[in-house]
Amino acid sequence: NAGVMQNPRHLVRRRGQEARLRCSPMKGHSHVYWYRQLPEEGLKFMVYLQKENIIDESGMPKERFSAEFPKEGPSILRIQQVVRGDSAAYFCASSSGQGGTEAFFGQGTRLTVV
Amino acid sequence: RKEVEQDPGPFNVPEGATVAFNCTYSNSASQSFFWYRQDCRKEPKLLMSVYSSGNEDGRFTAQLNRASQYISLLIRDSKLSDSATYLCVVRGRGGGATNKLIFGTGTLLAVQP
């Protein structure tokens, strides 16, 4: 399966712990987007990355959240000191980045903070 | 004003009906447009891209009106399996921050037997 791979699919963390969400883009894709979806709500843009660069992080909370997309390996969304309000589905999408091309989504990571 | 606006619905229609969804976007520099479909608790899946000349894929027809900054999706002969949330997606001009995808909040379609 050459699709976008996210892991873990489900993640349970206690308040105050760290959550690391991983996303491997489709083969040949160098652009990654992260979105958050709360129950019964729409997709909210968080961050847009290209290999080794953050292009747009206007949707990222100022504290506790960070993202990276290293030259080698998956993109990582990191949430430090998680709180109950961080419980959500986090989706990653990838594209080749060229204008007009579609983006394809992974199956998401469902984070539950207890 | 939201960057991408959609009627949240729900649209409850009988099988076989024709249903149309509309979407407006605020950034006139937007260059690419898409419709995605999201089933409950699943990831969004690309339904179709939207081209300036309009395009059709089976029972689905998408149209773009750049002057009015308006996108539409028409579904003919609705099936039960069409029940889902339909997301309007807009991408800015290529390159840089404006290349990000902006999602509408989605329109919920429920096709009734």
**Residue type at B74 in one-letter notation:** L
- A38 reaches B (C-beta below 8 A): no
Q: What distance in Å separates the CA atoms of residue B49 and residue B35, rounded to the nearest whole number?
A: 6
- A76 reaches B (C-beta below 8 A): no
pLDDT (tens digit, 9 = 90+) per residue, B9-36?
899 999 999 999 999 999 888 888 999 9
Minimal Cα–Cα distance from A103 to chain B, Å?
8
From the list B32, B100, B105, the residue facing A48 with the nearest CB is: B100
SS3 A12: strand
Per-residue pLDDT band at B84 (split at 50, 70, 90): very high
A45/B95 touch (CB, cutoff 8 Å), yes or no = no
pLDDT (tens digit, 9 = 90+) per residue, A58-90?
999 999 999 999 999 999 999 999 999 999 999
Residue closest to B10 by CA, chosen among B111, B108, B77: B108
pLDDT of residue B93: 64
